[in-house]
Chains A and B, each alone.
Chain A
Amino acid sequence: MFNTTEIRQDFPILRQQTHGKPLTYLDSTASSQKPQCVIDAMNDFYCHYNANVHRGIYQISEQASAAYENARKKIGRFINAHSWREVIFTRNATESINLVAYSWGLTNLKAGDVIITTEMEHHANLVPWQQVAARTGAQVKYIPVNEQGQLDLAMFDQWLTPSVKLVAITHMSNVLGVIPPVEEIITKAHSIGALFLLDGAQSVPHMPVDVQALACDFLAFSSHKMLGPTGLGVLWARQDILTAMPPFMTGGDMIKQVTLSGCTWNDLPWKFEAGTPAIAEAIGLGVAVDYLSKLGMTNVRQHEIEMTGYALERLSQVEGIHIYGPFDPQLRGGAISFTLGDIHPHDVAAVLDGEGIAVRAGHHCAMPIHDKFGLPATTRASFYVYNLPEEIDRLVIGLDKTRELLGK
């Protein structure tokens, strides 16, 4: 049913070598590889019907408009949106969150209001809230997180008062891999009248995400982490909330009528899509979503639970390794951050690179959680639909080699 060896055939980049070794790509949390069908769909657009959308009266422009809007519908169905009008194309998940921060946040937050997030957030779900807080006088509170990725929910409960207006939390940490109990947090946020923003940059690519079942209010995610092209993100939000929000950026395509004294906004979702959008990219993401749907997101999740379980078992046997995040693969996604003795993560990554293994080294755009654990950086290996257990074996061999070379 889920045949990784067959899946790999769809990804041309995985056929190549790096430093004379087969490419072992273990950095999908940063960006995923693209199947041939996504590359072909974008190529097809540029070769056969490249034109601007929503304006042209000629055939290829109408074709481009239809394909762009059809991609939106596919993506909406993928996350079980109520309507395609709730699906807004942005540049990336970061821009999606900024859209909410600047449009909803600056309009609705005032001094004394509280935004709750966690210590383990990606900077994309942290800095925008700090900025909005600085401008409005609102306060940001961070739910503490331990090394296993557990949130201090008792602390969260204590903070729950009507002054909390927004709770914004990751659905899967890109550092600790942990999948927090968001259902419980959403229910609690709603009980005091706060809205809930889910950062789905790591969850939408890797597991079934159903916005109606979760009952969240905003969901942000990125195309390039889910087999789609770079330069495209998605913001999903409830239609009534979007209707009440002012535009984030203004200009062409997002207006109905403009005079020199003012203008009226376009209907949803175009109200939030100023200027020419990423047309080829949206079409590419539509095909990526078809590809993932064909694999089945439950199967994708199952594959990653198996890969993560195997990786945790093998990696924990490496001498001097310290692994962060939960040890139960059911509680986490396939992103495993670790340190190897005193060896700096950049050195670990460089030695692994020589073995053809691509991993991430650094703070993974989450400096506060690294600070908390007293770490300048970690090394992170992450998995996706095309990764095989033998690639984890190669990683383990590479880490042993790193230790022999640089260990003290």
Chain B
Amino acid sequence: MDDFYRENILDHYRHPRHAGKLANPTHSHEEHNPLCGDVLRIDLHINEGQVIDDVAFSGKGCAISQASASMLTEMIIGKTTDQAKQIGKEDILEALGIEIGPVRLKCALLSLKTLKMGLYGLSEADWQKDDETW
């Protein structure tokens, strides 16, 4: 279990990047993970060039959900919205760099789900689509 709370996860958890709220977000979305009680809000500021020039996240949750949110903000800042849309579940898992069981997967991916729903209105059903395969 030492592996689980690796240095990079603890670093993001203790020193979250882009924590807080934006004064004038162009996009803002909040999602919940009812199983654990995690709440996550992501604010984005997207300029006329469709570039995410500012981002902030806030909310409550476990170290995994907070660290993954912090990592995600670093991944998307300065990117175009098209580039941000390309980020997938596997990118988050790669950034975390640990084995994640089915229960914690929801924690790890809460930030990505919030981003996708807030950024381009991805529906709950679309988000779940990957899980529908046999």
- Give the distance to chain A from B39, nearest Cβ to Cβ, in Å: 11
Whether B132 sits at the interface, judged by CB under 8 Å, is yes
Whether B103 sits at the interface, judged by CB under 8 Å, is yes
Residues in A whose Cβ lies below 8 Å from that of B132: 83-85
Whether A56 sits at the interface, judged by CB under 8 Å, is yes
Within 8 A of B (CB), among A246-281: 255-257, 267
Whether B128 sits at the interface, judged by CB under 8 Å, is yes
Specify which of B34, B102, B103, B128 is in contact with A257 (CB 8 Å cutoff). B34
Question: What's the Cα separation between A77 and B134 when bound, in Å?
Answer: 8
Beyond A57-B103, A62-B101, A65-B102, 7 extra complex contacts between A and B, CB < 8 Å: A54-B35, A56-B103, A59-B101, A76-B134, A77-B134, A85-B132, A257-B32
Whether B12 sits at the interface, judged by CB under 8 Å, is no
Interface residues as binary, B20-38 with A (CB distance below 8 Å gives 1, 0 otherwise):
0000000000001011000
Residues in B whose Cβ lies below 8 Å from that of A370: none
Specify which of A65, A84, A256, A267 is in contact with B103 (CB 8 Å cutoff). A65
Interface residues as binary, A50-78 with B (CB distance below 8 Å gives 1, 0 otherwise):
00001111010110011001000100110
Question: Would you give 11 A-B contacts (Cβ < 8 Å), ordered by A?
Answer: A56-B103, A59-B101, A62-B101, A62-B102, A65-B102, A76-B134, A77-B134, A84-B132, A255-B34, A256-B32, A256-B34
Within 8 A of A (CB), among B5-19: none
Question: What's the Cα separation between A83 and B128 when bound, in Å?
Answer: 12
Q: In the complex, are the beta carbons of B134 and A54 less than 8 A apart? A: no
- Give the distance to chain B from A241, nearest Cβ to Cβ, in Å: 16
Q: In the complex, are the beta carbons of B103 and A62 less than 8 A apart? A: yes
Q: In the complex, are the beta carbons of A66 and B134 less than 8 A apart? A: no
Instruction: Please name the residue on chain A nearest to B107 by beta carbon.
Output: A57
Question: What's the Cα separation between A69 and B102 when bound, in Å?
Answer: 11
Question: What's the Cα separation between A83 and B125 when bound, in Å?
Answer: 13
Main secondary structure of the interface of A (DSSP, over half): helix
Question: What's the Cα separation between A69 and B132 when bound, in Å?
Answer: 12
Q: In the complex, are the beta carbons of A267 and B35 less than 8 A apart? A: no
How many residues of chain A are within 8 Å of chain B by beta carbon? 20
Q: In the complex, are the beta carbons of A55 and B103 less than 8 A apart? A: yes
Question: What's the Cα separation between A267 and B35 when bound, in Å?
Answer: 12
Question: What's the Cα separation between A59 and B4 when bound, in Å?
Answer: 13
Question: What's the Cα separation between A280 and B4 when bound, in Å?
Answer: 29
Question: What's the Cα separation between A256 and B34 when bound, in Å?
Answer: 6
Q: In the complex, are the beta carbons of B103 and A54 less than 8 A apart? A: yes
Residues in A whose Cβ lies below 8 Å from that of B102: 62, 65-66, 69
Question: What's the Cα separation between A244 and B132 when bound, in Å?
Answer: 19
Q: In the complex, are the beta carbons of B134 and A73 less than 8 A apart? A: yes
Residues in B whose Cβ lies below 8 Å from that of A257: 32, 34
Question: What's the Cα separation between A380 and B30 when bound, in Å?
Answer: 61
Question: What's the Cα separation between A256 and B132 when bound, in Å?
Answer: 19
Residues in B whose Cβ lies below 8 Å from that of A77: 134
Whether B104 sits at the interface, judged by CB under 8 Å, is yes
Instruction: Please name the residue on chain B nearest to A267 by beta carbon.
Output: B128
Q: In the complex, are the beta carbons of B104 and A57 less than 8 A apart? A: yes
Q: Which of B32, B35, B102, B103 has the most CB of A within 10 A?
A: B103
Instruction: Please name the residue on chain B nearest to A85 by beta carbon.
Output: B132
Question: What's the Cα separation between A31 and B101 when bound, in Å?
Answer: 37
Give 7 closest A-B pairs by Cβ, nearest first.
Answer: A62-B101, A256-B34, A257-B34, A83-B132, A62-B103, A65-B102, A62-B102
Instruction: Please name the residue on chain B nearest to A65 by beta carbon.
Output: B102
Question: What's the Cα separation between A61 and B128 when bound, in Å?
Answer: 22
Within 8 A of A (CB), among B21-76: 32, 34-35
Q: In the complex, are the beta carbons of A55 and B35 less than 8 A apart? A: yes
Question: What's the Cα separation between A57 and B103 when bound, in Å?
Answer: 7
Question: What's the Cα separation between A168 and B32 when bound, in Å?
Answer: 40
Question: What's the Cα separation between A397 and B44 when bound, in Å?
Answer: 83
- Give the distance to chain B from A251, nearest Cβ to Cβ, in Å: 15
Residues in B whose Cβ lies below 8 Å from that of A85: 132
Instruction: Please name the residue on chain B nearest to A73 by beta carbon.
Output: B134
- Give the distance to chain A from B31, nearest Cβ to Cβ, in Å: 12
Within 8 A of A (CB), among B100-125: 101-104
Residues in A whose Cβ lies below 8 Å from that of B35: 54-55
Instruction: Please name the residue on chain B nearest to A63 by beta carbon.
Output: B101
- Give the distance to chain B from A310, nearest Cβ to Cβ, in Å: 39
Residues in A whose Cβ lies below 8 Å from that of B34: 255-257
Question: What's the Cα separation between A61 and B101 when bound, in Å?
Answer: 10
Question: What's the Cα separation between A252 and B104 when bound, in Å?
Answer: 19
Interface residues as binary, A74-105 with B (CB distance below 8 Å gives 1, 0 otherwise):
00110000011100000000000000000000
- Give the distance to chain A from B61, nearest Cβ to Cβ, in Å: 13
Question: What's the Cα separation between A257 and B31 when bound, in Å?
Answer: 12
Residues in B whose Cβ lies below 8 Å from that of A61: 103
